[in-house]
């Protein structure tokens, strides 16, 4: 029996579907996570390229867009356990180039740029309020890393009862093993998996 068969037999892998008001969330596609010498590598550069196409489609359709950045105080006063596990993250301060959204995805006027200090975009932020104000019921997640901040955000999105969709070619990780394993697991338990092209096609129907 294959892994997929095991999950199917136990009732996992169903679709939560696409609602009526989507929003696009771009998680931590910043310079530091696009730099293999810092926190990047793997398939992150390709995921950024695919996200640029999906972002353009979202903008054309008037879909709300939110970007996240990991941002710590310059004096390290808000660095917690996450930075004990990965001390290099402390360079991601407000004005450090590594914390800036990559040029290919530069936020447009009116798009929300959310600062966070933990893996999930929901933890200790006002993301819920931003989504509720826009009556969002479907959160489309792109970004890095698949096994880290993307996964944490996806689990929290589902936990807050948002229909959650992971854009499979628009998320990336520094290693492909964790990327593939986490995509599979999220698809079984927390989110629907769709390509950027499939998602963009749905924008025209909302």
How is residue 21 written in tokens?
């008001």
Residues 82 and 149: their CA atoms lie apart, in Å, by 11
149 counts as catalytic: yes
Residues 73 and 94: their CA atoms lie apart, in Å, by 7
How is residue 150 written in tokens?
């993307």
Residues designated catalytic: 149
């Amino acid at each position: 029996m294959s892994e997929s068969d095991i999950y199917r037999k136990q009732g996992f892998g169903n679709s939560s579907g696409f609602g009526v008001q989507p929003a696009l969330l771009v998680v931590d596609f910043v310079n530091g996570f696009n730099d293999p010498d810092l926190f990047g590598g793997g398939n992150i550069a390709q995921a950024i390229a695919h996200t640029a196409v999906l972002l353009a489609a979202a903008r054309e359709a008037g879909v709300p867009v939110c970007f996240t950045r990991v941002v710590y105080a310059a004096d390290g006063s808000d660095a917690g356990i996450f930075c004990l596990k990965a001390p290099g993250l402390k360079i991601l301060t407000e004005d450090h180039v590594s914390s800036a959204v990559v040029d290919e995805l530069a936020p447009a006027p009116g798009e929300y740029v959310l600062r966070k200090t933990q893996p999930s975009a929901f933890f200790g932020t006002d993301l819920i309020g931003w989504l509720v104000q826009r009556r969002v019921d479907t959160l489309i997640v792109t970004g890095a890393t698949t096994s880290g901040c993307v996964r944490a955000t996806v689990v929290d999105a589902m936990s807050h009862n948002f229909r959650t969709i992971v854009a499979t070619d628009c998320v990336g990780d520094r290693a492909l093993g964790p990327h593939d394993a986490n995509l599979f697991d999220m698809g079984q338990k927390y989110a629907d998996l769709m390509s950027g092209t499939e998602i963009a096609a749905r924008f025209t129907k909302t």
